[in-house]
Structure 1
Amino acid sequence: MPLKYDLDLLKLIFHGIAQDFPEDILPLLFHGTTMADLAATADLYVSLHTADLGRDADQSTAEAVYDGYSRVAVPRTEAGWHVYEGPPMPQVSNAAPIGVPRSTAGTPVITAAAVGTAATGAGHCLYWVRVNRWQINLQANVFASFGIGDLRFNAG
């Protein structure tokens, strides 16, 4: 299930545990910043999709299928992701260009991109975004790429 939370609600829920816990979630996920031994630094993986992803989607849901395709590893560091605390709400965007391997055969129409935890298979989908403004019509020898800040996810 994609991660989604209401910052004010999390502040209320975790008020007695740790005041800064809600603000630490995005740096933990996207920068690999440790938080009380919660996680080790690892890559996140950008995937392409041919349909919108619902709340129960995993990384393989409607994932693009074409010769040459693979998910792209992006480091959980400040070099990989920008984390904005808001206002109006926390956001994350890619800090560097992301290029997806070119199509050597197949012509999928890409309408969504996602960030998840696995290089292959049905990994946990953290966030997804429509790419309709870029709608990518892949053809042989066409590269899909996202410029700095093109993949922007709202945390609220």
Structure 2
Amino acid sequence: MSKSNTFENELLLLLLNNTNIANVGDATGLRGSSAAGVLYVSLHTADPGEAGNQSTSEADYTGYGRVSVARTSGGWTVTGNAAANAAAITFGACTGGTNAITYFGIGTSETGTGKLLYSGALSATLNVSNGITPEFGAGELDITED
């Protein structure tokens, strides 16, 4: 079973841009939050999987922390059933330890287990060691509903 293309687009807009979905539920539709808030992008050394959370296989180099991204069109670009980060996402510089980053995640919490909404594989492993500052340019983190 799959979602319609229209609903895939509306779902991404609701989750990433805080845009209401009309004609779902009561007369006001499926409503976004009263304040858009943020989501948190995380880095992972393996696939967190569908049963995982934000801390599953999460990066642990010294200096690492999740990065907040606004739930607005300034944070995420949504076109059809696809979305991507609208601006660069820069993580803390590594000051100790090493990680081989293979996945990214998008979740609800700044720290701790948190609800993982999406995760995806990177196109190439990102090797992080002392002095490396992981960064993804605008449009480099892709999300697809299908």
TM-score normalised according to structure 1 size:
0.81
AA aligned to 2:101 is I
Q: Counterpart in 2 of 1:150?
A: 140
AA aligned to 1:71 is R
Alignment counterpart, residue 130 of structure 2, candidates 135, 140, 148: 140
Q: Secondary structure at the match of 1:92?
A: strand
Percent identity for Structure 1 against Structure 2:
38
1:32 is the counterpart of 2:18:
yes
In structure 1, what is the Cα distance between the partners aligned to 2:91 and 2:31? 32
CA contact (8 A) 2:8 2:145 kept: no
* Residue correspondence of structure 1 range 45-64 to structure 2 within 5 A: 45-64=40-59
Q: Counterpart in 2 of 1:17?
A: none
Q: Counterpart in 1 of 2:113?
A: 122
Q: Counterpart in 2 of 1:91?
A: 82
In structure 2, what is the Cα distance between the partners aligned to 1:134 and 1:21? 31
**Partner deviation per Cα, 1:1-51 (whole Å, 9 max, x = no partner):** xxxx8223xx8xxxxxxxx65542111100122454453411010000000
Q: Secondary structure at the match of 1:28?
A: helix
Say what the alpha-carbon RMSD is for the aligned residues: 1.8
Structure 1 unaligned regions, length at least 5: 12-19
1:67 is the counterpart of 2:77:
no
Q: Secondary structure at the match of 2:62?
A: coil
Q: Counterpart in 2 of 1:7?
A: 3
TM-score normalised according to structure 2 size:
0.86
1:22–1:145 CA distance, 2 compared to 1 (3 A): closer
In structure 1, what is the Cα distance between the partners aligned to 2:20 and 2:82? 19
CA contact (8 A) 2:9 2:78 kept: no
Corresponding residue pairs, total: 137
AA aligned to 1:141 is G
Q: Secondary structure at the match of 2:84?
A: strand
Q: Counterpart in 2 of 1:15?
A: none
